Amino acid sequence: MGKLLLLVVMVLAGVTGWTVGSWSGRDARQALAKAKDLGEQAQTEHDKAVKALNQRIASMTADFERDSKKLADDHASAQAELSAALANRDQRIADLVRTRGGAQSQIAALRQAASSASVSPEERLRLQAEITRLQQQVADQQTLIAGLECSKVQVPAELLAPLRVGSPP
């Protein structure tokens, strides 16, 4: 009977061990299944984030390329305008010198007319106003001529460097 009791205790111990082991194994399987679900969710979120980032990078790249092209086009346009203005510089200087000479001749004639004794005071004031206007016109033309003449002189690169920030070379 002792052996039978020992055999029953061993069977009961085996059944108890198997039951306890299966319960802890089930918890481990549930934890593993939960970890797999969390891993799949994390992978899904990662894929969504990568896709969103790739779309943002593509959008920013397109914006950058569009802005770069616009900047290059604006630079080319400004350069063409400057080249056109400089191409006609000598002819424009000659025209300004000619019109300045004509205005100076008019000033001399008006001064002579204003100094004549037969001119009324009202007419003298009108002539003086016209002389002042022509003198201002001559001064403006002289400034423009000097500026156009100055544009022929090359400017050192170190003076132009700060102006080139943000524009293509």
pLDDT, one tens digit for every residue, the chain (169 residues):
777 777 777 888 887 777 776 666 677 778 888 989 999 999 999 999 999 999 999 999 999 999 999 999 999 998 888 888 778 888 888 898 999 899 999 989 888 888 887 878 888 888 899 989 999 999 999 998 888 888 778 878 887 777 776 555 5
Tell me what pLDDT residue 118 has. Answer: 82
Dist. CA 103–CA 157, nearest whole Å = 39
**Looking at this protein, which amino acid is placed at residue 35?**
A
Predicted confidence at residue 168, as pLDDT, reads 54
To the question of pTM greater than 0.85 for the whole model, the response is no
Residue 134 CA neighbour count, 13 Å, CB half: 19
Between CA 53 and CA 56 the distance in angstroms is 5
Q: What is the pLDDT of residue 22?
A: 65
For residue 67, the model assigns a pLDDT of 95
Interior CA angle at 80 toward 77 and 84, to 5°? 140
Provide the 10 A C-beta neighbour count for residue 78.
Answer: 11
| Token pair 């016209």: residue | 130
Q: pLDDT at position 56, please? A: 96
